[in-house]
Amino acid sequence: MLYPLSYGRRASARNGAQAVVQHRRQRRRGLIGADGTGSRAWRVHVRAVKRARTYAGCMSAYVSAFELFSIGVGPSSSHTVGPLRAAADFAARLRSTQALANVASISCALYGSLGATGIGHGTPDAVVAGLQGLDPETVDPDAVRRAWSNWPDGQVLALAGSHCIPFSKDDIVFAPRKRLPGHPNAMTLAARAADGAVLAEDTYYSIGGGFIRREGEPPRVAAAPVPFPYTDAATLLALCDEHGITIAEAARRNEQALRTDAEIADGLDRIWDAMASCVHAGLSHAGVLPGILKVKRRASVIRAQLEEIEAEGHRELPGEWLGAFALAVNEENAAGGRVVTAPTNGAAGILPAVGMYWWRFLADSGLGVGNAVTPHGELVGSALLGFHGRAATPDEAAGWDEARVAEANRRRGIRRFLLTAAALGSLFKNNASISGAEGGCQAEVGSACAMAAGGLTAVMGGTNRQIENAAEIAMEHHLGLTCDPVGGLVQIPCIERNAIAASTAVTAARLALRGDGTHYVSLDTVVETMRQTGIDMSTKYKETSEGGLAVNVIEC
């Protein structure tokens, strides 16, 4: 039987883990039966599980890679993408309940962190876009940028895209001092009739990574049972050992419960293409980022410098490119561009940077290529094309040139990278937090760094335990990291912080690959430590701009 070592937010992971160890010892000594009868340790274990299940959402359904990695707009997943989705959901519910035609006015109250840093994070702009029925994945970023701040007096709002009502900037109010019990990121939307009667009112929580939860909504359940359910890293590793598969393969088989192999491959490719496009856009755009800080873009300048060095015949500088890739993504994010939550927007540069680092500098080195295809269609490993896409037949692959072969093998590696990262990311989301407003920057950048480290270890040929080790190393050294954005903008220290974390992810992967996967501190332990640290952290350091750099750096 598999025993999970952590049970969610309200359970005692430490007591549960100790109970399991004691239970096993008692079984070996013959003090209890195989079913655990008579074991106090087992009763502690069961109580821990029950406590976890009483906390709404802590034992949430399987987190798909396509939920964790969602295409949206900057600058924040919790303060932009989440509120946009919430407002769009509210508008859609008005339509579905036939109340839309009777709505004469709309109001929105932003509480806690949404109220404190909402203007700098584009929250009211996102609310306006969402009320019009726009979707973060398909919306033109220009339709969101300054939608509220530039709203003309007297202009009507097309609620749900069709029902026109009067709307003014004052219809969105900010209440940073009021915190609702469900989550620090809370917002209440209300629709009223012409006589002032409330037709509908809903409170939403933006819980990080673009995920939202409506108050009173029952806990989400999986659309279909997954074959490899896990709530912690220990269980995930045990399942992989039992079935002789990688972490990425376990994630893929879970995704198969929801979609076809072709849909999985195409979806992962689409996510990666969006990440890569964001990198290239950031490396191309120059100028000054929006906001009062007037931060200059640097990624394009660094790109030009590195290209000049390489053109002169000097060796490539992978480490400096790694930093440039991360800066590029987060500069695009700060400008409100198209980005992928990974697992959040504030930490969106780390995974693409590390993935691009592997793609450009390591994919053709023979390190971690694994099951690949040769130009002659020869099978190397167990698949001819792509990771988890349709395998090419020898006849199909026989005519491929080296460039196509290299592209196919890179695609395969990136899919493994993303699936591994998603499996690890779900542990942070379910057992701690990926929200800066809930856990500080350790929850965002720390989680992303761990995901990237594990993903890189996977494509470098690491074992499951080396992957877990890399993720643990990366997270351990982000514990206690505060979220204190200067001016309420996702710029300082956020942009540089992604570049530093990308470098840390690579270092963590290298350290793990030099070992055999055994280590003293487990990933489950560091996830629980991050959760506890987030609880202890003052709200001044959790995306409110009320402490740290936010109050010590003069805004000019």
Q: Tokens 């049970």 correspond to what residue? A: 7
Q: Are residues 357 and 483 in the same domain?
A: yes
**Mean pLDDT across 360-386:** 50
Q: What is the pLDDT of residues 319-343, one digit of tens each?
A: 999 999 999 999 999 999 999 999 9
pTM (two decimals): 0.83
Distance of CA 463 to the CA centre of its chain: 23
Question: Of 10, 86, 110, nearest to 53 (Cα)?
Answer: 10
Quick one: tokens of 490? 């996702």
The answer to the question of residue 375 being in a domain is yes
Q: Are residues 328 and 365 in the same domain?
A: yes
Question: Do 215 and 108 touch, CB atoms closer than 8 A?
Answer: no
Q: Are residues 300 and 152 in the same domain?
A: no
**Mean pLDDT across 149-159:** 92
Q: What is the pLDDT of residues 223-274, one digit of tens each?
A: 678 999 999 999 999 999 999 999 999 999 999 999 999 999 999 999 999 9
Handedness of CA 451, 229, 255, 89 (dihedral sign): negative
**Mean pLDDT across 490-495:** 97
Q: Are residues 399 and 358 in the same domain?
A: yes
pLDDT of residue 206: 95
Q: Tokens 């080195």 correspond to what residue? A: 365
pLDDT of residue 3: 27
Q: Are residues 104 and 248 in the same domain?
A: no
Q: Rg of the Cα trace of the chain?
A: 24
Question: Do 108 and 173 touch, CB atoms closer than 8 A?
Answer: yes
Q: What is the mean pLDDT of the chain?
A: 86
Q: What distance in Å separates the CA atoms of residue 481 and residue 350, rounded to the nearest whole number?
A: 16
Dmax over CA atoms of the chain, in Å, equals: 79
Give the H or E element holding residue 201: strand 198-208
Phi/psi at 322 (nearest 5 deg)?
A: -55, -50
Q: What distance in Å separates the CA atoms of residue 95 and residue 460, rounded to the nearest whole number?
A: 50
Q: What is the pLDDT of residues 93-135, one digit of tens each?
A: 999 999 999 999 999 999 999 999 999 999 999 999 999 999 9
Q: What is the pLDDT of residues 41-80, one digit of tens each?
A: 444 444 444 334 333 333 456 899 999 999 999 999 999 9
pLDDT of residue 11: 38
pLDDT of residue 556: 62
pLDDT of residue 221: 63
Q: 281: how many CB neighbours lie within 10 A of its CB?
A: 19
Q: What distance in Å separates the CA atoms of residue 157 and residue 164, rounded to the nearest whole number?
A: 5
Q: Are residues 171 and 250 in the same domain?
A: no
Q: Are residues 237 and 210 in the same domain?
A: no
Work out the burial of residue 150: count CB atoms within 10 Å of its CB; fewer than 13 is exposed, 13-18 middle, 19 or more buried: exposed
**Mean pLDDT across 173-198:** 96
**Number of helices (H), then strands (E), in the chain:** 22, 11
From start to end of 338-390, where are the E strands?
338-340, 372-373, 379-380
Q: Are residues 190 and 248 in the same domain?
A: no
Give the H or E element holding residue 105: strand 105-111
Q: Are residues 209 and 240 in the same domain?
A: no
pLDDT of residue 387: 41
Q: Are residues 152 and 279 in the same domain?
A: no
Question: Do 94 and 198 touch, CB atoms closer than 8 A?
Answer: no
Q: What distance in Å separates the CA atoms of residue 269 and residue 340, rounded to the nearest whole number?
A: 13
The answer to the question of residue 222 being in a domain is no
Q: Are residues 166 and 137 in the same domain?
A: yes
Residue 38 — pLDDT band, cuts 50, 70, 90? low
The answer to the question of residue 4 being in a domain is no
Domain boundaries, position 420: 233-257+259-552
Question: Do 334 and 491 touch, CB atoms closer than 8 A?
Answer: yes
Q: What distance in Å separates the CA atoms of residue 316 and residue 158, rounded to the nearest whole number?
A: 52
Size of the chain in residues: 556
Number of domains in the chain: 3
The answer to the question of residue 59 being in a domain is no
Residue 316 — pLDDT band, cuts 50, 70, 90? confident
Q: What distance in Å separates the CA atoms of residue 485 and residue 107, rounded to the nearest whole number?
A: 27
Q: What distance in Å separates the CA atoms of residue 283 and residue 152, rounded to the nearest whole number?
A: 34
Residue 9 — pLDDT band, cuts 50, 70, 90? very low
pLDDT of residue 95: 94
pLDDT of residue 398: 64
Q: 296's torsion region: left (phi>0), alpha (psi -120 to 50) or beta?
A: beta
More confident site: 380 or 131: 131
Question: Of 502, 483, 503, nearest to 493 (Cα)?
Answer: 483
SS3 content of the chain, % helix, strand, coil (to 5): 50, 10, 40
**Mean pLDDT across 524-545:** 97
